[in-house]
A and B are shown apart, each in its own frame.
Chain A
Amino acid sequence: EADIYQTPRYLVIGTGKKITLECSQTMGHDKMYWYQQDPGMELHLIHYSYGVNSTEKGDLSSESTVSRIRTEHFPLTLESARPSHTSQYLCASSDTQQGSESPLHFGNGTRLTVT
Chain B
Amino acid sequence: RKEVEQDPGPFNVPEGATVAFNCTYSNSASQSFFWYRQDCRKEPKLLMSVYSSGNEDGRFTAQLNRASQYISLLIRDSKLSDSATYLCAVNSGYSTLTFGKGTMLLVSP
Contact = CB atoms under 8 A, between A and B. Distances in A.
A103 B101 contact: no
Interface stretch (B13-21, B43-51, B56-64, B65-73): B43-51
A81 interface: no
A43 B99 contact: yes
19 contacts: A42-B102, A48-B96, A58-B96, A59-B98, A88-B41, A90-B44, A100-B32, A101-B91, A101-B97, A103-B34, A103-B49, A104-B44, A104-B89, A105-B46, A106-B43, A106-B45, A107-B43, A109-B42, A111-B41
Interface residues on B, range: 20 to 34
A103 B46 contact: yes
A45 interface: yes
Q: Looking at B44, B91, B100, B102, which has the most chain A CB atoms within 10 Å of its CB?
A: B44
Contacts of B99: 35, 42-43
B44 A101 contact: no
A33 B96 contact: yes
Interface of A: 33, 35, 39, 41-43, 45, 48, 58-59, 88, 90, 99-109, 111
Contacts of A101: 31-32, 91, 95-97
A109 B100 contact: no
Q: Looking at B89, B95, B96, which has the most chain A CB atoms within 10 Å of its CB?
A: B96
Nearest to B32: A101
Contact of A100 (B31, B89, B100): B31
B106 interface: no
B104 to A, nearest CB: 9
B61 to A, nearest CB: 18
Nearest to B30: A101
A89 to B, nearest CB: 11
A46 to B, nearest CB: 11
A43 B87 contact: yes
B100 A42 contact: yes
Given A39-B41, A90-B43, A99-B31, A104 B97 contact: yes
Contact of A108 (B34, B43, B91, B98): B43
